[in-house]
A and B are shown apart, each in its own frame.
Chain A
Amino acid sequence: MKFTIPIGPQHPALKEPISLRMTVEGEVIRDADIRLGYNHRGLEKLAEERTWIQNIYLMERICGICSHSHTTCYVQGVEKLMEIEPPKRGLYIRTLVAELERIHSHLLWLGVAGHEAGFDSFFMYTWRDREVVMDILEMISGNRVHYAMNTIGGVRRDLDDLQVKKILDGLEVLKKRTEYYFKIGANEPTFVARLAGVGYLSKERAMDLCAVGPTARASGVTRDVRKDDPYAAYDETPFDVCTADTCDVLGRTVVRIKELFESYKISEFLLKSLPAGGIAVKAPKRAKPNEVLSRYEAPRGENTHYIKSNGTDKPERLKVRAPTLANYPATVEMLRNGFIADIPLIFAAIDPCICCAERAVELVNARTGEEKALRFSELRKLADERFKNPSLKRNAVWPF
């Protein structure tokens, strides 16, 4: 007997409006459907009626967590259209804020993962330590959320020596704390057991469904726009792409913790080799008719903007594709054959940003609803099979 359980669009467990419809057999999810559109704001249409400068502020408000991602993706595209090159120092500061944003976003995600796994001390630790990076961002930009650092042709605020020292001190604290989290993972078998084997997504399926970011990298897909298509200061910055091959929520956690270490490394490098000079160049009001594809590695995955200009001070077309939208088809795949109790964990593991993706989702593939009476022996056989192939990996170890 199959039931369909609606979760959302308004639900105590969801912070943003989205509708998940689970077709379940007992407590096993057989099919999932995602419906979007509860928060569609028509930003792409609105952008066509705003000037290049006004659109920076519009793009900033696509998302409250990766606000710097959308503006950077937008301004670096517009800079290409206007044929201007921001100064080196401006690019370095832009990249630094991008990495600090990744640190705060990944720390936030770790807390959410800890909370969904029932490990609330972990949630409290990570969110307390996240304040360190939030304070750094506030010191640099004056804001905790919408930094408003980007402008066409560079950034809006410079760094002084005292700020550089304070940021380096803050990173030192965060590095120690992150090492501690990494150790917690190794020393806390219940946490590892809760995450291992949940939300399985094979490498082949991740590639078929075009998953992005840590979700794809946890399935062994080595894709990172920072490496594949370097922008801002990434072509001069040494760093590694972090992957895992466990293809489950454990892998996604490990990838994010490793990426934190890489982000600390990148930020330190940027601060220590910060070039002297100006931070922005003056941008023209208009852009010649042209088109550009801008790509950016946001904390959740690749962010893509396609911008077309027509010679006026407004864009002809601005297409935004946020990373969460690209991860929804993979989420449906992960939810399938999981347990109802795993829904929050799996869904949180893609680090969904529903507002970002509200430019676009839905997927149904409900199988035939036939009912069949089973004899006790058959039922028992099925139960035995289920226990031979449990979706929870026993004796999983933390990969050092």
Chain B
Amino acid sequence: MTDIELMEKLKSFLGDKIVEMSNPGLRRVFMKVDPRNLAAVAVSLKKDLGLWYIAAISGVDVEDSFEILYHFGHDNGSLSVRTRIPKADPHIESISPIVPGAIFYERELQDMFGIIVDHIPDPRPLVVPDDWPAGNYPLRKDWKYERPPEIIPGGKQ
């Protein structure tokens, strides 16, 4: 499936669900969709276009919103589906019921950005420890790590 074929297929199956689409390089297609349409788009990608493989989910902190990119791979390149949600109400629909292999990437998204993935089959923390303080989301731009002062027992004060 070449980039042009892929873009034509996307247009015919998704129609007005596509907000914008670009082809920045060979074998790379980026497409923006509304977060409310995400689950429907994921179903269509898997059923109609045969994109069963999700390579990664990237979250990006962009000022007052989060950009989430779903990178799908196919037999001749890749498709990245972009969506944007406001930081004030960070909810996104889970695609794991449709693409089971996405579960770990969605859980990582929850831990790292504090994005709430609705209807996720397994919402437990993935990478942060059990005693991680609530409300700390490391990959948000305003989060800074401060190393606690080291106290050596019996050492100098």
| Chain A contacts to B: CB under 8 angstroms | 36-37, 40, 42, 44-45, 80, 207-211, 222-223, 225, 228-229, 290-293, 295, 302, 304, 306, 308, 316-317, 319, 321, 325-326, 328-329, 358-364
Contacts and interface: CB of A to CB of B under 8 A. Distances in A.
A304 B126 contact: no
A225 B73 CA distance: 9
A218 B18 CA distance: 36
Given A207-B52, A229-B77, A42 B138 contact: yes
Contact of A328 (B102, B104, B143, B145): B104
Interface of B: 24-25, 27-28, 52-56, 58-61, 69, 71, 73-78, 80, 99-105, 107-108, 112, 122, 124-129, 138-139, 143, 145
B53 A304 contact: no
A295 B103 contact: no
A229 B101 contact: no
B76 A306 contact: no
A45 B71 CA distance: 20
B73 A362 contact: no
B71 A293 contact: yes
A328 B105 CA distance: 12
B77 A321 contact: no
Given A223-B75, A364-B122, 10 more contacts: A37-B127, A208-B99, A208-B100, A209-B100, A210-B100, A210-B102, A304-B71, A306-B56, A360-B108, A361-B104
Contacts of A211: 101
B10 to A, nearest CB: 17
A373 to B, nearest CB: 32
Contacts of B143: 45
B105 to A, nearest CB: 7
A45 B139 contact: yes
20 contacts: A37-B128, A37-B129, A42-B138, A44-B139, A45-B138, A45-B143, A208-B52, A209-B101, A210-B99, A211-B101, A222-B75, A228-B75, A293-B78, A295-B78, A319-B58, A321-B55, A359-B108, A360-B127, A362-B107, A362-B122
